[in-house]
Amino acid sequence: MRAVLRRPDFRLLFAGLFFSMTAESMLVLALAIWAKDLTGSDGMAGAAILCVVAPVVFAPLLGVVVDRFRRRPFLIAALVGSAVMLTPLLAVDGREDLWIIFAVAICYGVSYILVSGSLNGLIKEVIPPDLLAEANGALQTVRQGLRLVGPLLGAALYAATKGWGLATLGMAGFLIAAAVIAVLRVREDRPERVESHWLTEVGAGVRHLTGSVPLRRALIGNVISILVFGFSETVFFAFVDQGLHRPPAFIGVLISVQGVGGLLGGLTSPWLIRRVGELSANAIGIALFLPLLLTSLTPNLGLAFATCLISGFGLPYLLVGLMTLMQRTTPAALMGRVSAAMDALISAPQTLAIGFGAVLVELVDFRVLLVVMSAVMAVSALYLWAGRGLTPPSAGAQPGEDELVGDGGAVREREGVV
C-alpha cells in the first residue's frame, strides 16, 4: 500500500475523499436511528435505509450521465450536490417531518451512485493497473476505520442536537472534499459522444458485466448473498432491541467494533488479492459474515463483539476484490455505466430484501431470518470460491516501482489509454 501512497495525485484524491467518507460514515445509520426515534418502529428504521438504496433502480440511466463528462469536474459537482441535499434536515422538528428524512435519504442514494461512478472512473485515470488493489485497499482502510468513530459521532450528534449538527457536519465534509479534489490536476480527454439509441447506451454497462466471465460470476455470487443480506438492515435493529435489550443507538457501538476488523481488513486486502485473486477474496469476505449471523441466534454481548470484529474483515475483502476486478477489466469510457450497472444489479435485490426485511421482522422471529441468511450466504461463498480459477493469484507480481512518480497527469496502461 505504500507504493500507491507515494503518488502525489493519489494522496490528494485520498485526502479529499477522507472528508466525504467521514460524512458518509455518519449519515446512513444516523438517518435510520432518527426514523426509529421519531416513530419507535424498527420497520421505519429499515425504511430509511431502503430509501437510500432505492435509487439504484435508476442507476443505469445515471451511469450514462456520468460517462458524458470528465471524471474530476463531475465528481466535484456531485460532492457539492451531496452537501446541498442535506439542508432540508435542518427543518426536521417532529414525527410529522419524517417524510423529510426519507426524501433526503432518496437524494443521498442518487448522489452516492453519481459519486461512486465518477470516482471509479477517476481512480482508473489516476492509478496504473498494478496499483488498483492498493488504491482500493487504502480507501477501504480509511472507510472501515471511520466505522470506529463515524456511527458513534453520528449518533452522538443526533442525540446532542436532534439532527441539525449531523446535517451541518455532513455538509461541511462534502464541501471540503470537493474543494480538495478541485486542486487535483488530471489530464482527461473529453468523452467521445457516440451516436446511438439511448437504450443501447444504458445497456452497455450490463452487457459488459454479463459478457465478462469473471465479472458475471462475481455478479451472480454477490446477488445470491445480497438477496438475504439486505434483511440485516432491519434484523440487527431487532437483534439489538429484542436480543441484547439495548437502545437503538447501541447498533452504532457494534458497527464501530466491526470497523476495527474493517480497518485491518482494508490494510490486508491488497495482500490477500495478490495471493488468492479477486473472486477468492470476494468469497472469503462473504464467508466471514457467517460467524456473526450464526452466533446471533443466541444473543450474547461478548459473542456479538467478537463476531462483529471478524465480519469487519469480510467487508473490505469483498469490496476491494469486487471493485478491483471491475476496474481492471473495464474500459475507461464505460466505467460510469459499468459501475452504475453493478450498483443496480447488486443493490436492486438488496432494496427488495430491505423492504421484505422491514415487513418480516414485524411478523417473524429475527432468529428465523438469521438462519435463512446464513444458509444463502454460505451458498454464495461456495459459488464464488468454485470460480477462483477465473482470477488467479499474482503473488509474484509486486506493484511496479516505475509507476510511482505520479505527476497529476493521465496514467497510461501498457495495453493502451486507461
Residues 201-240 have pLDDT tens digits of: 667 888 888 888 999 999 999 888 887 877 777 788 778 8
**DSSP assignment of 308-374, as one string?**
HHHHHHHHHHHHHHHHHHHHHHS-GGGHHHHHHHHHHHHHHHHHHHHHHHHHHHHHS-HHHHHHHHH
412 falls in which pLDDT band (50, 70, 90)?
very low
Q: pLDDT at residue 33 above 60?
A: yes
**Angstrom distance (rounded) from CA 170 to CA 306:** 30
Phi-psi region of 19 (alpha: psi -120 to 50; beta: other; left: phi over 0): alpha
The count of other CB atoms within 10 Å of the CB of residue 222 is 24
**The length of the chain, given as a count of residues:** 418
Q: pLDDT at residue 415 above 70?
A: no
Residue % of the chain over a pLDDT of 70:
89
Q: Which residue's entry shows cell 485497499? A: 137
Q: What integer pLDDT is reported at residue 280 of this predicted model? A: 94
Q: What integer pLDDT is reported at residue 406 of this predicted model? A: 37
Residue % of the chain over a pLDDT of 90:
17
Q: What integer pLDDT is reported at residue 62 of this predicted model? A: 84
Question: Mean pLDDT over residues 134-139, rounded?
Answer: 87
Please say whether the beta carbons of 300 and 245 come within 8 A: no
The HSE-up count of residue 383 (CA atoms within 13 Å, CB side) is 18
Mean pLDDT (the chain) is 81
- Which of residues 64 and 386 earns the better pLDDT score? 386
- Nearest Cα residue to 121 out of 331, 408, 318, 280: 331
**Angstrom distance (rounded) from CA 29 to CA 20:** 16
3-state secondary structure at position 99: helix
Read off the pLDDT of residues 259-309 as tens digits, 9 standing for 90 and up. 788 888 888 999 999 889 999 999 999 999 999 888 888 888 888 889 989
Q: What integer pLDDT is reported at residue 50 of this predicted model? A: 80
